Structures are given as C-alpha cells and as structure tokens.
Structure 1
C-alpha cells in the first residue's frame, strides 16, 4: 500500500454522512438505546436507520448515519455505547 492509497481513505471532518454500525444483544429497547446514546454526541439521520437480527435472533445490528465532527467524538461514541452493557461491537 502506498502513501497515496492511505491518504485516499482518510476521513475528512466534518463528515455529514458517517455510518455507525452497532451490534449487540437482542432485547427490548436496544435500537432506542442506540439512538439515544448517539443523539448525545451527534446529529443522527433517522432516515438511514437499518435494523436486522442474526439468524438465531441472539444479536441485533443497528446502523445509522451521523454527522461526524472528529476522532474524539467517534471515540466518545464508541466508549458510551460499549458502557451500556448489551453492545458487543461498534463499527
């Protein structure tokens, strides 16, 4: 990989259409909890909401797009989501 390849994949902030994917234990209110946490740190585009369950129903994936303002914001979002308990992975 060249330096040009790395630069072409660099995120430029602010990013008005940044996707966040959250995977966690299926349960009542999981999607609402994800939206609430994201809303504390960023403007959330609810029109982009996508939700699906794993084949056995154990896990739920919620994907939304936010306005990302920087690395610190994304780190804060990741930490806050993981601190909730049911969240297993944030992508």
Structure 2
C-alpha cells in the first residue's frame, strides 16, 4: 500500500519554517533538514523577517526523493520547540 501524492520524485521542494527572530533559526532549520536531505545546495536557503521583525521565516529548497522523506523533515521541524510552524 503506497500513500498517494501529487508530487513526482525526485523534485525540488520548498520547506518553510517559522519562529521567533531571537535565535539563529536559519542554522537550526538547515541542521534539521540536513538530517534527511544532506545535499542542500548553495543558495537554497532564504530568510524573511515578519513585518514587525518579531518572527522570521526560513525557506530551504531540497531535492526531495520521497513523501516519507518530506514527512520526516516536517515531523522533526514541528517537534522542535523553536519552530512555531512548518509549511
């Protein structure tokens, strides 16, 4: 039994995580994503502060190989106390 997905693997897939802007969230997110997708290319990480600068979003573009890989990344990100939301 395989889970259905509209994605065709491998594919480039953006992973976004958001948290407070008082820590180095980009380094944390990259460290977590690298556990599951070690080949993060230069320029694949971008950050953007919220309008008031209290929060930051970090986007990492990975070369996703399976739905299970993406699920594991989201599970690890969502389970970290500094990550408020992962999309």
Given the two structures, how large is their TM-score scaled by the length of structure 1?
Answer: 0.80
Matched ranges for 1:49-88 at <5 A: 49-88=45-84
The answer to whether structure 1 residue 29 and structure 2 residue 18 are counterparts is: no
Runs of 4+ in 1 over 3 A off after TM superposition: none
Please state which structure has a larger fraction of its residues in helix: 1
Cα-Cα RMSD? 1.5
Say how many residue pairs are matched: 82
Query: Mind listing any 5+ residue stretches in structure 2 that lack a counterpart?
Result: none
Please state which structure has a larger fraction of its residues in strand: 1
Given the two structures, how large is their TM-score scaled by the length of structure 2?
Answer: 0.84
